[in-house]
Chain A
Amino acid sequence: MISMRQKLILVPDLILLCGTIILELKKYPVFDFAPVPWIGAVVFLSFVMDNLLRKYMSSADLYLFPLVMFFLSIGLIMIDRLKPSLFIPQLRWALCGMVTFMAVLYLAKRIERLKNYQYLIGVCCLLLLCSTLLFGTEINGNRNWILLGPFSVQLSEFAKIMIVIFLAAYLTDHKNVLALPSNKFLLLRLPPFRFIAPLIVIWSMAVLMFVIQHDLGSALLFFGIALLMTYMATGNKSYVFLALIFFSVASTISYFLFAHVRVRVIIWLHPWADPTGQAYQIVQSLFAFGSGGILGSGFSSGYPFLIPEVHTDFIFSAIAEEFGLVGSIFIILGYLTLFYRGINIALHCKNEMNMLLASGLATSLALQVFIILAGVTKFLPLTGITLPFISYGGSSMVSSFIIIGLLFALSTKENNNA
């Protein structure tokens, strides 16, 4: 007898196999066998990894990996459907991600040591972000790509993880000073400036990212991570106020100073004023949602191609069109489950640094999902960030697997009370 838990990995693997078979049958009578070895490799590796994890790390949260593989499979079949030419590259990135995951598990045995390198990580993160600010290349309107030989890398995806690690370590160390502030400043109770300086630097970086790189998604993400992690560490609401004031002032100033900021806001508020021009993408995305309806058009029977860049930032719109409301809610509930498991891991962590790290990682993942989903549905202004594990892209894939690897490591007995 195989237990339920053992069968779980079959679900994503079957999604991947059935999805690709459906797409191949549609190409009848011409079949493309090139992706077969790669699909085989992903399925095989997922089985091996699932078995290894259950055997050697049975104390960890064993639901994480099948859940992530579920998103990965949905993403893979959608990319095969939307951009077949990128299917094999994405399969390759999936394999890279899975290997990275194992590497993180191996390296993360002594996760506390990260604490000793907190400033090094912080500075690295700053350097990464500065280098994109200075040398960034524009791809699809976002100037946050760095060209490294044949690869283009989105360094902000990795800087995001570093910021979470840095904040977890820094905030645990200075929690008491930050939580019991000495200075009063305009009704706000704040600690000496040198302690909140790193936070202000992160917030400023976020604003610069938007103004210079036009990368609203990452800006919101970094800002949100810094804000929520500070609150989780200190519980001091003054930071929340301070951040919101900072945010309002910065956004008001940039609204009046920079034309592209104004354009974003206008598109968001009045997309139907220029539906064929600047608001084209978001309007097409809304059409996809509407045309999908409750049950969707059926896999590979919709017209998501009408949305530009549908395989990266707008992949959720394609899912909503072809799988309908049922499918989109299913995906969101999946991410909420992932977030919930992450928070659960955090609440069972032995020490504060780990607790903050786990909750920071889980929060960053949830926040990223929220920002992009809210963007493609016009709930918030449109932002260009990826949907973890589903959107096309290597940087996003590898960095998302690093986050899950760290969370997985934090859920093991050595780091966890559960």
Chain B
Amino acid sequence: MHDRKMKKYIYNVTVLLFSLFLILIGYITYLQSFESADLANNPLNRRAMQIEKHMQRGMILDRNGKKIAYSKKNDQGTFSRIYPFHDVTAAISGYVGDKIGNAGIEGYANTDLVGINSPLAKFGPIKQLFNKDQGDNVKLTVDTRIQQAAYDALGNQKGAVVILNAKTGAILAMVSKPSFDPNTVDQNWEQLRSDPSSPLLNRASQGLYPPGSILKTMIADAALKENVTTTKEMFYSPGFLKVDDDYTLYESENEVHGNITLEESLAVSSNVTFGTLALRLGEAKLADTFNRFGFNKTFDNEIIEPKIQLPTFEKLSRGEIAQVGIGQGTVLVTPLRMALLASAFANHGIIMKPYLIDEILSPDGFVLKKTSPEKWLEPTTAQRADTIESFMKSVINHGTGTKAAVSGIEVAGKTGTAENSSGSAHAWFIGSAALPSQDIAFAIIVENGDFGGLAAAPIAKRIITNILHTEEVTQ
């Protein structure tokens, strides 16, 4: 009798312990599956560092397979990182070092470069069968020849150049000056960090600048979309626009343009016309325009950007609204964004998602990941985009951008002279060019360079001529 009772109690205890173990199994399953990635990638988890120690870091390659960064084994068995292009590609490659951490592609693609992000990692022990002493290689969309051309064209001036393929969004060049040599960044770290000219900042995608007149291309598009003007309307500019009692907007150099169309207004960069258009659009439609062109959106890929600064539209006075129309006031943008703006008009109204990483390749050459070009936004119609592009060609042919004209090549563009608090105005030039090989869109800024048409437009010409020259040589 008692015997049977005791069996029942033993059974109860067994059930209790089995349940405890089942809960534990559930919890461990949660840890090793759902929580797994978070724990594995936690910055305090030193496994990545341990792996890096005896791993030959993968290479960073340009679109043609040229080495932008690679690791070489020293006599002591450690690796040193070599950047054959020194300062030229620093804005793209970034740097890596034991004490200084990493940045740029070295930072973003770190897990790929050390091989722990490899899709093979999911196969657990099976990955041990493959080459595991070498990280994966990262092939970029950058063309080092174009990068070099842009780097040389900017000369010793502070500023940035972004060039991308308008049809795909692939970034072909990204220059930021002053630059640094990633080969020696470790030794010069303190000096680079405290340098007031911020050489470590990638101005091309992370520098925030007032856009100035280059934003007029977008205002022209918005005005046509919202029917606040037509291509035929004649604007009269007496050299100034009295917005209200407190504020008057002046033309650059107080020039008097007389009766001009929208196309001519863009060509001569009339502040009066675009101030007027901004006032006609009003704050709600202006805000809507910025959103349409993606200024409120971020990229979820290797393009690392600060937040674009837009004004609080509903609080703007009439004077401030007029200023938005000419790209002044509190709007701050990155050169990359301005290249994307130019690409919308060059690519019939479609902005492709910008990207830098084309492929991730295993050390044995297998393509582990490939980025396919992706439509990002369609801010305007093909028809309107083509109209604005034709206006931008007038800028080159007989407007403020004549210094960017290249014989035999269709160049469209817009100059900008952005007033700012740091001294003389920043010189801007954005635009596009139909090269024999591809359609490119670009943005150029020369910090405190003054007139865009004089300081930035000639750089575009130099870059385009340089690219054409190298293309001829290689053909």
Contacts and interface: CB of A to CB of B under 8 A. Distances in A.
Nearest to B42: A287
B259 to A, nearest CB: 69
A352 interface: yes
Interface stretch (A56-64, A107-115, A215-223, A227-235): A227-235
Interface string B20-31: 110011011101
Interface stretch (A143-151, A159-167, A256-264, A289-297): A289-297
A312 interface: no
B124 A346 contact: no
A234 B10 CA distance: 10
Contact of A292 (B8, B32, B51): B32
A189 interface: no
A38 interface: no
Contacts of B124: 293-298, 324
A290 B125 contact: no
A287 B127 contact: no
Nearest to B123: A295
Interface stretch (A94-102, A124-132, A299-307): A299-307
Contacts of A292: 32, 36
B10 A347 contact: yes
A244 interface: no
A363 interface: yes
B31 A355 contact: no
B197 to A, nearest CB: 36
Contacts of B37: 290
A366 interface: yes
A276 interface: yes
A235 B50 contact: no
Nearest to B124: A295
A273 B21 CA distance: 28
B33 A325 contact: yes
B193 interface: no
Contacts of A294: 32-33, 36, 122, 124
Interface string B152-189: 00000000000000000000000000000000000000
B32 A303 contact: no
Contacts of B45: 287, 290-291
A389 interface: no
Nearest to A286: B39
A329 interface: yes
Nearest to B17: A366
A329 B25 contact: yes
Contact of B27 (A295, A336, A379): A379
B14 interface: yes
Given A297-B124, A336-B21, A377 B5 contact: no
B13 interface: yes
Contacts of B39: 286-287, 289-291
B40 A293 contact: yes
A295 B123 CA distance: 7
Nearest to A235: B9
B7 interface: yes
Nearest to A290: B39
B44 A276 contact: yes
A294 B9 CA distance: 37
Interface string B48-86: 001100000000000000000000000000000000000
Contacts of A283: 44
Nearest to A335: B21
A213 B40 CA distance: 34
A187 B52 CA distance: 64
Nearest to B29: A325
Contacts of A232: 6, 9-10, 13
B35 interface: yes
A356 B6 contact: yes
A315 B241 CA distance: 79
Interface in A334-349: 335-336, 339-340, 343, 346-347
B190 interface: no
A367 B10 CA distance: 14
A280 to B, nearest CB: 9
B24 A374 contact: yes
B129 to A, nearest CB: 10
B369 interface: no
B21 A377 contact: no
A228 B15 CA distance: 12
A383 interface: no
Given A291-B40, A339-B17, A235 B8 contact: yes
B3 interface: yes
Contact of A299 (B20, B44, B125): B125
Contacts of A192: none
B10 A355 contact: yes
Contacts of B376: none
Given A283-B44, A325-B33, A339-B17, A296 B8 contact: no
B29 to A, nearest CB: 6
Given A291-B45, A293-B40, A363-B13, A303 B31 contact: no
B225 interface: no
A367 B6 CA distance: 19
Contacts of B7: 347, 355
A175 interface: yes
A250 to B, nearest CB: 22
Contacts of A286: 31, 39
Nearest to A325: B32
Q: Give the one of B9, B38, B126 with max A CB within 10 A.
A: B9
A153 interface: no
Contacts of A336: 18, 21
Interface of B: 2-3, 5-14, 17-18, 20-21, 24-25, 27-29, 31-33, 35-40, 42, 44-47, 50-51, 122-128
The 6 A-B pairs at the shortest CB distance, nearest first, are namely A290-B39, A295-B124, A298-B125, A325-B32, A287-B45, A291-B40
Given A287-B44, A306-B50, A355-B6, 10 more contacts: A235-B5, A275-B44, A292-B32, A295-B123, A298-B126, A325-B29, A332-B21, A347-B11, A370-B21, A377-B27
19 contacts: A231-B9, A232-B6, A234-B9, A235-B8, A286-B39, A290-B39, A291-B47, A293-B124, A297-B125, A298-B124, A299-B125, A301-B125, A303-B46, A325-B29, A329-B25, A366-B17, A366-B21, A377-B24, A379-B24
Interface of A: 175, 228, 231-235, 275-276, 283, 286-287, 289-299, 301-303, 306, 320, 324-325, 328-329, 332, 335-336, 339-340, 343, 346-347, 352, 355-356, 359, 363, 366-367, 370, 373-374, 377, 379
